[in-house]
Amino acid sequence: MRVGVEVGGTFTDLVAVEGGRVVVTKVPSTPRSPDIGAFAALTASGVDLARIEDLGHGSTVATNAVLERKGAAVAFVATAGFRDLLFTQRHDRRNIYDLFYAKPAPPVRRKDCFEVSERLQADGSVERPLDEGKVRAELIPALKAGGYRAIAICLLNAYANPVHEKRLAELLAEALSDALVTCSHQVVREFREFERASTTLLSAYVQPVIDGYLQRFERKLAEAGFAGRFTVMQSNGGRLPAEAMRQSAITALYSGPAAGVVGATRQAARSGFHDLITFDMGGTSTDVCLVQEGRPSLASESEIDGLPIRTPVLDIVSVGAGGGSIAWVDDGGMLRIGPQSAGADPGPACYGKGGQAPTTTDAHIVIGTIRPGAFLGGRMNLDGDAARRAFEPLAERFELSVEQAASQALQLADANIVRAIQLVSTERGRDPRDYALVPFGGAGPLHAARIAEELGIATIVVPPNAGVISAYGLVASDYTKFDAVTRKMKLDETSALETGRLFAEMRTRLAQQFADMKLPGDLLYAHTLDMRFVGQAFEVGVEIPAPRLASLDAAYLAELFADAHHRTFMHGATLDRPVEIVTLRVGATLPIGTPPRLDREALEPNTPAAAQVFDGEQFIGCQRYTAETLTAGQRLAGPAVIEGYTATTWVPPGWTAALDAADNLILRRAS
């Protein structure tokens, strides 16, 4: 049995797969103690924990710790002269016209930043040895007095030679046994001091939080009889055993959204769709990602709360448009929706938990696309009158009917999502019309058709059990780990040979790490070089095909770089300037084999019911179907509402829907 448990902002989802049997469960999240909600999902599912071989988990614990500033008391240790690195940051200014602009604040106070006497050159050679006497006499007493639970060490040029970081970590571990020590060479072995320092600090900041969370969850699992493998999803779309996450918690920041992309990609591939735009609309946010030839786009850097994180992540763009997003009026009298969210507590007004603000979910109830008695298959009854009352003040403010106010709020949410999709497609040289849209999350299939119309997309693939695709991604994802190292080299035959040697060294290191994690099997490797013209400030990622790794030469690498540069910038790809290699990257993947199927529960076909849905300006008649009663090949013409246990799909006029052999619902727009 394989089980995935994903903790979202509003609901905690579970998917259990054993042979051909699929168990799907959704329970409300418990934001104050996410492990309680996660375990509640296991209890509600009725699965026997003793029979679970593989339990995959994803959560927003690390993300929330940073956003809410609820991480551990952390100290930052840098080379003498670099104590203020986290505060000086870069000289850029995000809002150039804001007179009160302030740089993003790191989760550490200046008085908690310390220096040590040492110095390495950029090539890793030692210019000034680590002054161990001062460490013992000055640094250690100061750290003891501060009572820190976590210590982040980021010494200058340690990516090239970690000798001083390793020795300093040994000294601190001997003297401060209760503190968790995180070194930059363990987290990111790349240049650019601020980004490396920020990543190291954030990793140290969330490490005790992740440790405590995983320990509580593992303890509950053991008490309930679980003895299988417990894995955690990473931001890069692959899993690792929970024990490995204690060494690099920063990789779990975006585990939930990453799991959704993997699950959607796996399920869409069953129907032959490999070029996708995944669209995950949950309770709090919407996350979109572009997938090319079955491979989600990967970025080497991301941000959280304005702070850079230098670790591989799926290239996901998020906007504050979810089922709990609140509709409100700004200072200029304009209607807005999100990013504020009602979350799980109190939730939308229709949940009956005390929420009074109008939300996206309330809007769907008002216009008729969500039926209160059918939510979560009828297991959660919603208050339709409360949803209408929530929208009445907005309707009065704009002199609209309640239905019109709700409809316009939904149109605003659609516009926000369209913009997010354009960021991952149009603005990166990809035409969204060349892709199929894959909506999931509880609200995704309700918005998909209107968003596809705005973008010119003609095909939509709605997975079965669309509301729990992120949990499915946890059982369908491979084990993945990345390694990267900065080695600046001017491109010539010598550096081409050195590149091959370094790649081999990195593969050996990754293979040993998989062996240490007790993950046997044949690894698949992906190799990338960050390259640039000499004098450029930033690099272009250049993927190296596996067949050429054994015979790399300068001319071939230059050709690959020129092609990649042209695709990115559409100019400047002539090779009349010297080129340099900056960073080498290797990804190692251990495939899980054939992913389990996410088949829906099949019920006896029945007669659809007539319904009324408000479509912008008026109510229109439509048919209301139950998703589990549809049969393969059955074709429906819009307008239609298809209600499932975890998600509802809206098929507007001009669209058709048909269930295929892979249990995907394929929507197509009339030409």
| pLDDT of amino acid 572 | 64
Tell the residue number behind the tokens 């992740």, with chain if given.
210
| pLDDT of amino acid 565 | 87
| pLDDT of amino acid 85 | 94
| Backbone conformation region of residue 159, classed left if phi is above 0, alpha if psi is from -120 to 50, else beta | alpha
Instruction: Determine, yes or no, domain membership for 635.
Output: no
Whether residues 103 and 179 fall in one domain: yes
pLDDT value at 629 more than 70: yes
Taking residues 184-201, what's their average pLDDT? 94
**What are the b/e assignments for 459-495, b being 16+ CB within 10 Å?**
bbbbbbbbbbbbbbbbbbbebbbbbbbbbbbebbeeb
Domain total of the chain: 3
pLDDT value at 602 more than 80: no
Give per-residue pLDDT as tens, 119-162: 999 999 999 999 999 999 999 999 999 999 999 999 999 999 99
Q: How confident is the model at residue 455 (pLDDT cuts 50, 70, 90)?
A: very high
Give per-residue pLDDT as tens, 554-573: 999 999 999 888 877 777 66
Which of 167, 201, 235 corresponds to the end of one domain? Answer: 201
Whether residues 196 and 80 fall in one domain: yes
Instruction: Determine, yes or no, domain membership for 194.
Output: yes
Tell the residue number behind the tokens 């990111």, with chain if given.
188
Instruction: Determine, yes or no, domain membership for 454.
Output: no
The DSSP secondary structure of 471-520, one letter per residue, reads HHHHHH--EEEEEEEEEEEESSHHHHHHHHHHHHHHHHHHHHHHHHTT--
What are the angstrom distances between the C-alpha of 146 and each of 116, 141, 180, 367?
17, 9, 14, 56
| pLDDT of amino acid 519 | 92
Whether residues 170 and 94 fall in one domain: yes
Per the CB < 8 A criterion, the answer to whether 267 and 252 are in contact is no
- Of 93 and 290, more confident: 290
Instruction: Determine, yes or no, domain membership for 143.
Output: yes
Which among 496, 426, 495, 433 has a CA at the least distance from the CA of 459? Answer: 433
Residues 6+ apart with CB under 8 A from 235: 251, 252, 253, 254, 255, 258, 302, 311, 312, 313, 314
Which of 536, 556, 590 corresponds to the end of one domain? Answer: 590
Whether residues 493 and 409 fall in one domain: no
Per the CB < 8 A criterion, the answer to whether 424 and 317 are in contact is yes
Choose the weakest-confidence range: 246-250, 507-511, 626-630: 246-250
DSSP three-state, residue 210: helix
DSSP three-state, residue 174: helix
In sequence order, the β-bridge partners of residue 625 are 642
Give per-residue pLDDT as tens, 7-35: 887 789 999 998 878 899 988 888 778 88
| pLDDT of amino acid 136 | 96
Taking residues 581-586, what's their average pLDDT? 96
Whether residues 408 and 484 fall in one domain: no
Taking residues 276-296, what's their average pLDDT? 91
CATH number of domain containing 509: 3.30.1490
* Residue 61 tokens, joined: 């614990």
| pLDDT of amino acid 169 | 96
Whole-number percent of the chain with pLDDT over 70: 99
The per-residue pLDDT of the chain, averaged, comes to 91
Give per-residue pLDDT as tens, 64-120: 788 778 899 999 999 999 999 999 998 888 788 888 888 889 999 999 999 999 999
| pLDDT of amino acid 573 | 65
* Residue 279 tokens, joined: 């669209």
Taking residues 194-214, what's their average pLDDT? 92
Please compute, for residue 657, the number of CA atoms within 13 A of its CA located in the half-sphere on the CB side.
27
Which pTM does this prediction carry? 0.89
Whether residues 488 and 567 fall in one domain: yes
The DSSP secondary structure of 293-355, one letter per residue, reads TTEE-EES-EEETTEEE-S-EE-EEEES-STTEEEEE-TTS-EEEEEEE-TTTT--GGG-SS-
| pLDDT of amino acid 269 | 95
| pLDDT of amino acid 236 | 92
pLDDT value at 53 more than 70: yes
Instruction: Determine, yes or no, domain membership for 5.
Output: no
| pLDDT of amino acid 237 | 93
| pLDDT of amino acid 614 | 95
How far apart CA 206 and CA 72 sit, in angstroms, is: 7
Taking residues 324-333, what's their average pLDDT? 91
Instruction: Determine, yes or no, domain membership for 23.
Output: no
Instruction: Determine, yes or no, domain membership for 367.
Output: yes
The secondary structure element, H or E, covering residue 641 is strand 640-643
pLDDT value at 437 more than 90: yes
Instruction: Determine, yes or no, domain membership for 116.
Output: yes
- Amino acid at residue number 548: R
How far apart CA 16 and CA 27 sit, in angstroms, is: 14
Q: Which domain holds residue 92?
A: 67-201
DSSP three-state, residue 394: helix
Strands 298-299 and 313-314, sheet pairing: antiparallel
Give per-residue pLDDT as tens, 459-514: 999 999 999 999 999 999 999 999 999 999 999 999 999 999 999 999 999 999 99
Which of 361, 396, 414 corresponds to the end of one domain? Answer: 414
> What is the radius of gyration, based on Cα positions, of the chain?
26
How far apart CA 370 and CA 464 sit, in angstroms, is: 18
pLDDT value at 589 more than 90: yes
Q: In Å, how far from its chain's centre is CA 583?
A: 24
Whether residues 79 and 176 fall in one domain: yes
Give per-residue pLDDT as tens, 389-410: 999 999 999 999 999 999 999 9
- Amino acid at residue number 652: P
How far apart CA 94 and CA 217 sit, in angstroms, is: 40
| pLDDT of amino acid 666 | 97
pLDDT value at 368 more than 80: yes
